[in-house]
Chains A and B, each alone.
Chain A
Amino acid sequence: MGDSTGDTGSSMHGVSTDKTGKYDLPVDLEDRATVFKLFSFAKPHMRTFHLSWISFSTCFVSTFAAAPLVPIIRENLNLTKQDVGNAGVASVSGSIFSRLVMGAVCDLLGPRYGCAFLVMLSAPTVFSMSFVSGAAGFITVRFMIGFCLATFVSCQYWMSTMFTSKIIGLVNGTAAGWGNMGGGITQLLMPVVYEIIRRCGATAFTAWRIAFFVPGWLHIIMGILVLTLGQDLPGGNRKAVEKKGKVVQDKLGKIMWCAVSNYRTWIFVLLYGYSMGVELSTDNVIAEYFFDRFHLKLHTAGIIAASFGMANFFARPAGGYASDIAAKYFGMRGRLWALWIIQTAGGLFCVWLGLANTLVTAIVAMILFSLGAQAACGATFAIVPFVSRRSLGIISGLTGAGGNFGSGLTQLIFFSTSQFTTEQGLTWMGVMIVACTLPVMLIHFPQWGSMFRPPSTDPVKGTAEYYYVSEWNEEEKQKNMHQGSVAFAINAKSEDGRNAPSTITV
């Protein structure tokens, strides 16, 4: 045996053909782990988890590395407020496209190559900060660095090849949350690195350029680790799995239509733009805000700004967990209410942050805002898997892209012009969060209801089976392509809340 590419084109690097099943963790029929052991590095499952979230986090570090150093960079490059704001918009815009492309890349080359390619090919963009001499260069480089945020997709894709669907919510939420922490880590890391370089004798305008070498090196190190220690599949060949009928070859056009014609997709695109989107925007402006408004030193502002991003460590998984608890008692309606409450609360704390006049109230408001926004991200992706079974990948990708789009838009309106001071911008951003979270009230599942409407009592159309199977037409049902959706619908009975059957067998 020596077929060295899996049928998706993903390499079989590290995959043993020895099928005696010697894994550290219990696995399902597709060799995906059914248990999540956080402090283990055992191959392949937990090792993949750690490689994946750390490389995603590294990309967050480099994308937002400029933010805490803006007070120095703006003097070196003679930037105006508009330039600083536009660079912030640019830093999140690139990945709108790269996240959409990364899905295809993962299908063609596998998540390991997808991740490694992106991380190592974006290292030059990070190093090129040393060449920047004006606003145009700064904006361009931040745009190019921002492409690497597509590692979100490779991270989530990789997790779903390694962990079974029952725990994928927690696994993906933890991986995404810990990855997003990079946006916080960078606010601490970069000012400290800058300070050390300055103390070693470099002038201010050179020191910040040298500081960018650190995220650049992290890219190279993580890329090499992913290539040498990572593997695409836990074991087994994708074609064999397909033969068992569990994975269906579907048509891109159909999946896309299924995704875009479902109105819920677009509501989530908007919602995520005002939970993840505002988190990204805040990562870009918060250090400079504390530096300017409260006359702090650069590394003090960095420490405060870091605690915003670091809250992701528990806030995002907590949001997912809160959604799960709400679902236990109230089903899907509980999840929708949880999302609305958490995200609106985040918006109100953001309003408070802009209005805070003293340092202490500002810090308190910021931390509460971070908890709200990040938990809302977790709660969003606790519902997204139920929007569609057929088009889950594309809807997740669109939602993720919506996050970046929301971030770019918010930074453009509120933080790039002289019309608003930064504190006014924060307040209005909070108002916009509250307003843009209202559409969650419009999300209605016939089988489970919505925030204000009960589920449909129609015996046919009011069932989960009907909802998920209606994504396929008659011809496709004849070919039995819809079996996965039927199984999913049965499992999804847990979203009925207290009325859910106590045991579910498939």
Chain B
Amino acid sequence: MAIHKILFASLLICLLIQSSHAATKERLFSDLEKSALEDTATPSRVGEGVGVDKLSITWKVSSTATKEPEFKAIKVKLCYAPASQVDRPWRKTENELFKDKSCPHKISSWSYDPAMKAGQSFDYTLERDIPTGTYFVRAYAVDTKDHEVAFGQSTNEDKTTNIFSVQAISGRHKSLDIASVCFSVFSVVALLVFFVNEKRKAKIEQSK
């Protein structure tokens, strides 16, 4: 199945100071420094006709970032836009980070060092198990304890701008369809053959 074109956007990263909570369970999204990273994500289609589409993603640390020294790694994830979360509680956005399910798809991650302030630019080929929906890209900055300290996303706070849509593969294959039909026909025919055979044997017995 063809994948639609997706829009290009810039990625910036900013820092956010994490409130000091020891328990992982209480780490909240609202505590992360917003816009510490600047992100852009631009979709593009490769070649003509059927192909696997790519996202061109860039991220960089924003000039307004304050917790930059704490960054140990940058994790970039594909997140669901609100339209794709409607009536799907398994994709719900929760403030408690460990409960939040809105960003389940990992794109990539890098170890961070201060020389990387200018950011990275790379292409991500969409995995074959990404479902149909509308998405944006978010980058989390994590510290040495693997706790998120800051983030940035390719859309605004209301998640309304720069949303791109993905069309999933169907998972169907012609060979599967054919095999399915073959076994189904076999089942019905085998039943009829047995049934007719037994009736025939019965008639032969009777006429003896």
Contacts and interface: CB of A to CB of B under 8 A. Distances in A.
Residues of A in contact with B, size category = 35 or more
A82 B89 CA distance: 11
A131 B180 contact: yes
A210 B176 CA distance: 7
Contacts of A131: 172, 177, 180
A128 interface: yes
A467 interface: no
A116 B190 CA distance: 11
A121 B177 CA distance: 18
Given A78-B132, A203-B129, A11 B88 contact: no
Nearest to B205: A2
A140 to B, nearest CB: 15
Interface in A114-161: 116-117, 120-121, 123-124, 127-128, 130-131, 133
Contacts, number: 117
Contacts of B203: 4
A117 B195 CA distance: 10
B171 A209 contact: yes
Contact of B169 (A116, A205, A228): A205
Contacts of A80: 86-88
A76 B133 contact: no
B169 A121 contact: no
A10 B172 CA distance: 42
B12 to A, nearest CB: 30
Interface string B69-104: 000000000000000001111100000000000000
B176 A120 contact: no
Interface stretch (A92-100, A212-220, A359-367, A454-462): A212-220
Residues of B in contact with A, size category = 35 or more
Interface string A201-238: 00111101110010011011001100110000000000
Chief secondary structure at chain A's binding surface: helix
B145 interface: no
A4 B207 CA distance: 11
Contacts of A210: 176
B166 to A, nearest CB: 11
Interface string B118-136: 0000000000110111000
B15 to A, nearest CB: 29
Nearest to A133: B170
Interface string A52-89: 00000000000000000001001110101110000000
A475 interface: no
B48 to A, nearest CB: 23
A105 to B, nearest CB: 14
B87 A82 contact: yes
A217 B182 CA distance: 12
B187 A13 contact: no
B172 A213 contact: no
A418 interface: yes
A474 interface: no
Contacts of A124: 183-184, 187-188
Contacts of B170: 76, 133, 205
Contacts of A203: 128-129, 169, 171
Most buried by A among B129, B181, B201, B205: B129
A29 to B, nearest CB: 27
A421 B89 contact: yes
Q: Please provide the 10 A-B residue pairs with the shortest distance between their CB atoms, ordered closest to farther.
A: A205-B171, A4-B202, A2-B205, A124-B184, A80-B87, A75-B131, A123-B187, A204-B129, A127-B180, A120-B191
Interface of B: 86-90, 128-129, 131-133, 168-173, 176-177, 179-181, 183-184, 186-188, 190-191, 194-195, 198, 201-203, 205-206, 208
18 contacts: A2-B208, A4-B202, A76-B131, A78-B168, A80-B88, A81-B89, A120-B191, A123-B183, A124-B184, A130-B177, A130-B180, A131-B172, A203-B169, A205-B129, A206-B172, A206-B173, A220-B186, A422-B89
Interface of A: 2-5, 11-13, 71, 74-76, 78, 80-82, 113, 116-117, 120-121, 123-124, 127-128, 130-131, 133, 203-206, 208-210, 213, 216-217, 219-220, 223-224, 227-228, 292, 418, 421-422
